[in-house]
């Protein structure tokens, strides 16, 4: 039965608030705070994400337009631009980072049984990064080029359900391959990466941890063929070889054998894959690498539908706070979709919530297919327009 809560309050009700309060106490987020708490800050920023607000002025105007409903939204402090700006500037971003990690653990459990289109029971991760351009004069801490600033969003995406399991926010100069040093390898898992992550020492750490990787070879990667396996060229597989590195230092960084698979796609492009998995069929390795595209789709989705390209503050703390709250909103919507069994895309769910945050309707009814009433043509009182 519907509890009478507003739509926005129902969405926020799926968040583990006991975890959030524990993190606020851990990092002393409410220390010396009188009226505008960390909960109020999170709710206002989440409201901005869900309703596509573009600035702090938009957030203030939209929320203050419904003063009698603020309490029912869960916001108990006075909402103002200055209070929200000060909170983004001073409240520790690690509160929202670790809160998003808690939501990640919940979401991954819910999507653990989803199919990925490949007959494989192991966990499959896609690793990549995206760059968000910034103004150098406003964001001097985010150096990228001589006249340009940027932040990078390094993401390890769990392909089952499209849930990010690891996110690292850095300035634009941080090289992608350095993220491999921050990962804790999971034994038996597959890591899908492009050529930017072809670092032999880092890949050998994955090998030693019992993990598998699939990446592409660079043009200057020197390999010696040891022997070839039979292949069916009608599948697009040109060759399936066991190889070893040629140069002395390369062998020192990765002293074991690798598997090289050359594949030609329908457009005639030749792709060379490198992997340390010697057991799976070559076609499965190629199908796995196709799944790497999901992380690109994830970046495209969050850039289009979440507020991470225009920031409400210019400090590093404010930028990281906004990004982590945006990720939390994405995860909350994904959790709601799974728990309520909603057969609607995340995009459609966000669009519906964006225009109904103050409505008093059950979420399951809000996302169900509308039942359109049909008008009877036999009504004598209905006049014809044409």
Q: Give the pLDDT confidence of 296-341 residue by residue, as tens digits.
A: 999 999 988 888 888 999 999 999 999 999 999 999 999 999 999 9
Q: What is the pLDDT of residues 108-117, one digit of tens each?
A: 999 988 888 8
Give the model's confidence band at 65: pLDDT under 50 very low, under 70 low, under 90 confident, else very high: confident
Highest mean pLDDT among 119-123, 177-181, 307-311, 347-351: 177-181
Across 340-350, average pLDDT:
88
Q: What is the pLDDT of residues 173-214, one digit of tens each?
A: 999 999 999 999 999 999 999 999 999 999 999 999 999 999
- pLDDT greater than 80 at residue 381: no
pTM of the model: 0.88
H, E, C per residue of the chain: CCCCCCHHHHHHCCCCHHHHHHHHHHCCCCCCCCCCCHHHHHHHHHHHHHCCCCCHHHHHHHHHCCHHHHHHHCCCCCCCHHHHHHHHHHCCCHHHHHHHHHHHHHHHHHCCCCCCCCCCCCCEEEEEEEEEEECCCCCCCCEEECCEEEEEEEEEEECCCCEEEEEEEEECCCCHHHHHHCCCCCCCCEEECCHHHCCHHHHHHHHHCCCEEEEECCCCCCEEEEEEECCCHHHCEEEEEEEEECCHHHHHHCCCCEEEEEEECCCCCEEEEEECCCCCCHHHHHHHHHCCHHHHHHHHHHHHHCCCCCCCCCCHHHHHHHHHHHHHHHHHHHHHHHHCCCCCCHHHHHHHHHHCCCCCCCHHHHCCCCCCCCCCCCCCCCCCCC
pLDDT of residue 3: 56
What ranges do the domains of the chain cover? 7-96+312-365
pLDDT of residue 156: 95
């Amino acid at each position: 039965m519907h509890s009478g809560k507003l739509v926005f309050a129902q969405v926020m009700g799926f968040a583990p608030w006991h975890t959030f309060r524990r993190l606020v106490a851990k990092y002393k987020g409410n220390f010396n705070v009188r009226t505008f708490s960390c909960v109020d800050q999170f709710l206002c920023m989440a409201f901005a994400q869900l309703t596509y607000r573009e600035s702090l002025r938009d957030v203030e105007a939209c929320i203050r337009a419904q003063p009698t409903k603020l309490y029912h939204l869960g916001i108990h402090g006075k909402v103002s631009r200055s209070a929200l700006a000060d909170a983004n500037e001073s409240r520790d971003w690690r509160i929202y980072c670790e809160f998003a990690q808690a939501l990640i653990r919940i979401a991954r459990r819910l999507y653990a049984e989803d199919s990925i289109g490949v007959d494989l029971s192991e966990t499959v991760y896609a690793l990549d990064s995206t760059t968000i351009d910034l103004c150098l004069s406003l964001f001097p801490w985010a150096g990228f080029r001589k006249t340009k600033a940027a932040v990078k969003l390094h993401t390890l995406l769990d392909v089952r359900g499209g849930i990010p399991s690891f996110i690292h926010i850095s300035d634009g100069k941080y090289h992608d391959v350095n993220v491999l040093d921050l990962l804790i390898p999971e034994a038996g898992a597959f890591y899908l990466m492009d050529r930017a992550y072809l670092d032999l020492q880092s890949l050998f750490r994955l090998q030693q941890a019992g993990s598998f990787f699939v990446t592409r070879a660079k043009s200057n990667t020197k390999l010696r063929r040891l022997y070839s396996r039979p292949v069916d060229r009608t599948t697009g597989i040109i060759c399936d070889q066991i190889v070893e590195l040629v140069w002395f230092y390369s062998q020192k960084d990765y002293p074991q054998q690798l598997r090289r698979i050359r594949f030609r796609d329908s457009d005639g492009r030749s792709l060379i894959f490198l992997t340390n998995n010697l057991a799976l069929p070559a076609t499965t390795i190629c199908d796995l690498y196709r799944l790497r595209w999901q992380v690109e789709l994830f970046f495209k989705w969050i850039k289009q539908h979440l507020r991470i390209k225009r920031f409400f503050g210019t400090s590093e703390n404010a930028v990281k706070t906004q990004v982590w709250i945006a990720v939390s909103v994405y995860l909350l919507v994904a959790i709601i979709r799974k728990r309520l069994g909603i057969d609607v895309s995340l995009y459609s769910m966000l669009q519906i919530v964006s225009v109904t945050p103050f409505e008093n309707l059950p979420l399951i009814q809000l996302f169900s297919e509308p039942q359109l009433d049909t008008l009877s043509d036999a009504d004598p009182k209905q006049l014809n327009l044409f």
